[in-house]
Structure 1
């Protein structure tokens, strides 16, 4: 078996035993037992026991890093048993064995931190965060960054250049995630989840569990990326020792793939807002320009549909009002997928098109405008504003446009107006009135929540109802098809000379540049 295969098999074996979502308190070399009770919605109860005969750090050897090297269990045991409870499947996982991580030494091994901002060796913590990954010769990601290895173009790079670029990306990702604060926050959430009465308040417990899962996922993703980088460096060194050019070539190709993938991971690291991971609604409204702008609005909506499909999101048309001659007056789509709102929020604003009009017989150049709004959909079903039935006015009418035998024969379309705010939502794309009402109500709830959040943050200008001046003054991006071809973001000055690819959904460059600029601005403002 090859070195890499052995290492990966060993890692899989250890992770399958120790790498649990929950955390526990232990001392070096301690035999432990750990029980986790889980439901489909997350863990409910946790219990652990540590042998009191193994709390002294002197019982385990000290390695060269000044840490206690804990022996691996010879016969660890893991069992999972179903528990009968009120019709819901609940499983209890039981683990027994020895702690397997290298824990920093301490004069007071039983110390438990009272101040969450001070990390001590013995506390509730995630084992992934406690481990400093390194190559066989002790090289770490931080060591690569401080070594200042030259970063060359992808086509000219050797393995050190690729490794340096990847290490820089990991360093940037940690900076954007506020890594130390993330670890501390994860510790606090783990302690809260360990409380026996946490699920007495299911709503609060659910929020804690979701946040814990989200932070844990981010941390594990970064750690896995680190491990992969260091493993490939080990493989390259081993290949050179054994004079195996094929193995070295494969590892070099893997580093190149990692380098290209690192940009996507940098982008995801920017999406740390409360609602960035949510699905969203994207609304497009035609502005000044008549038929020209209606046609342009349809092009913009198609651009977002193609962008969402590129990212693997599910797209559903919620509402659409066609123009008299061509295009659309307005339309709303629902984009389902992780981080849909985090990405799409970069598109909020007015988009301007300059082209030779296909509707002008004299072939003159025209300028058109379309406004884009993005509204998050709360992933946990929670709302910021409770809407009572007395605050709603529900209007029913026949759906317009092309349809089947049923769509235009009954009053299946629904418009719901929130009387206190004047916000409305319309849906006519479903086959039944009940389905249209449910979809319209979901859109209305999101819009009202958005307004309330904007009011609380004194940001009403960003709300969709404020997009009334869809003209020159509020544009964010310019699409020029004549006399030259270019798409330019006016906020970041990012531009491309291939408008066709952009209109076919290639928006990630614009999104990345905007999110990067926003992050830099936030950091400068602190």
Structure 2
């Protein structure tokens, strides 16, 4: 259906992976087996999607021929509606084919950092974390909270999610940048209007099972401390939170979400690998990495998107001018239109 989609080639890859999976020693290497099963699932989903599209187009053509043959005008509305639906779905599927970067199909590690705006900016981080978790849930993507760091009075200073599914990094890379919120502050006794900012960073996961990013034990320093809740109080009696310092680069990653020290350590290492992968790409390219996007301060004038809840309701992306008046839906995770509008512009669509 599309010159950019090798349907036959992908079906051959599926057959090859199925043969490998049926071998008696396939699960002797669990990490490699799991990676190949994930690859198989993604290939099968992609092929099924295009086969379904082929079937829909064939049915539409058959119905059109039937209407013409019988001069049946009663099918006009149905044909028009289905044609528009197929065209929209085809455009979306073809756009996915353009997400062919080396990391676009990987899970994404998305971190939100609070910026200017005080307590409101911490609350804004928590709202955005909910928006992206909602997007993942609506898209039936796996999502996991890797880390949260509470604000002094409310909300979060930072929050980190890992989101999987097809082209997770490719899609979420559209969200990199500063997000601005304008509303009546619930933390101001005078109920004045407040503008607050948060910065979204998105990184692809590193394939640690393939040695893509090597972390030697001697290169890291690991500290343990008690997890903190809202207001900074200790919420656990044991030191389960983990802080890892990568000595060669000075990168520091902490994680305190889980009650298990071992789980927090695994999450912190996962984030560190993603940051080291991005750093390597930056050095290789000798300029600011396209993986991160340009690092700008989270304050006035740098925003990519504004979410206005007062005195009117509107969400507007300043890169594409796409906007929506349904702020509740957007903050609930309905951001596909914003993502797709940006990707189409970015890719010269």
Superposition TM-score tier, normalisation by shorter sequence: 0.7 to 0.9
User: Considering only aligned residues, what root-mean-square deviation do their CA atoms show, in Å?
Assistant: 3.8
Given candidates 421, 438, 453, the residue that maps to 2:281 is 453
Q: Match of 2:254, SS?
A: strand
- Distance in 1 between the 2:254 and 2:343 partners? 31
Q: Does 1:21 align with 2:21?
A: no
- Distance in 2 between the 1:313 and 1:454 partners? 28
Matches within 5 A, 1:19-418: 21-22=11-12, 38-40=19-21, 87-88=25-26, 221-222=49-50, 225-238=53-66, 241=69, 254-378=82-206, 381-401=209-229, 408-418=236-246
Q: What does residue 4 of structure 2 align with?
A: none
Relative contact order, higher structure (CA 8 A, sep 6+): 2
Q: Match of 2:137, SS?
A: helix
- Distance in 1 between the 2:260 and 2:20 partners? 35
- Distance in 2 between the 1:492 and 1:248 partners? 34
- Distance in 1 between the 2:269 and 2:129 partners? 22
Q: Residues 228, 485 of structure 1: CA spacing in aligned structure 2 closer, same or farther, 3 A cutoff? A: closer
Q: Residues 469, 422 of structure 1: CA spacing in aligned structure 2 closer, same or farther, 3 A cutoff? A: same
- Distance in 1 between the 2:265 and 2:49 partners? 40
Q: Residues 424, 465 of structure 1: CA spacing in aligned structure 2 closer, same or farther, 3 A cutoff? A: farther
Q: Residues 520, 462 of structure 1: CA spacing in aligned structure 2 closer, same or farther, 3 A cutoff? A: closer
Q: What does residue 157 of structure 1 align with?
A: none
- Distance in 1 between the 2:299 and 2:194 partners? 13
Name the TM-score, length of structure 1 as normaliser: 0.55
What are the superposed Cα offsets for residues 467-514 of structure 1, whole Å, 9 maximum, x if unpaired? 462212432111222233222111122222232222111111110111
- Distance in 1 between the 2:302 and 2:39 partners? 36
For the Cα contact (< 8 Å) 1:385–1:452, is it kept in 2? no
Q: Residues 456, 507 of structure 1: CA spacing in aligned structure 2 closer, same or farther, 3 A cutoff? A: same
- Distance in 2 between the 1:20 and 1:267 partners? 18
Q: Match of 1:324, SS?
A: coil
Q: What does residue 500 of structure 1 align with?
A: 328
Name the TM-score, length of structure 2 as normaliser: 0.80
Gaps of 5+ in 1: 1-17, 24-34, 42-82, 90-202, 522-526
How far is 1:520 from its partner?
0.6
Q: What does residue 247 of structure 2 align with?
A: 419
Q: Residues 512, 465 of structure 1: CA spacing in aligned structure 2 closer, same or farther, 3 A cutoff? A: closer
- Distance in 1 between the 2:161 and 2:17 partners? 41
For the Cα contact (< 8 Å) 1:384–1:452, is it kept in 2? no
Given candidates 422, 425, 444, the residue that maps to 2:272 is 444
Count of residues in correspondence between the two structures: 332
For the Cα contact (< 8 Å) 1:306–1:505, is it kept in 2? yes
- Distance in 2 between the 1:394 and 1:465 partners? 29
For the Cα contact (< 8 Å) 2:149–2:256, is it kept in 1? no
Q: Residues 459, 312 of structure 1: CA spacing in aligned structure 2 closer, same or farther, 3 A cutoff? A: farther
- Distance in 2 between the 1:226 and 1:454 partners? 41
What are the superposed Cα offsets for residues 308-339 of structure 1, whole Å, 9 maximum, x if unpaired? 11111122111111111111111111112222
Given candidates 301, 315, 319, the residue that maps to 1:491 is 319
Q: Match of 2:166, SS?
A: coil
For the Cα contact (< 8 Å) 1:235–1:248, is it kept in 2? no
Q: Match of 2:181, SS?
A: strand
Given candidates 335, 339, 342, the residue that maps to 1:514 is 342
Q: Which has the larger radius of gyration?
A: 1
Q: Match of 2:348, SS?
A: helix
Gaps of 5+ in 2: 1-7
Q: Residues 493, 236 of structure 1: CA spacing in aligned structure 2 closer, same or farther, 3 A cutoff? A: closer
- Distance in 2 between the 1:251 and 1:424 partners? 57
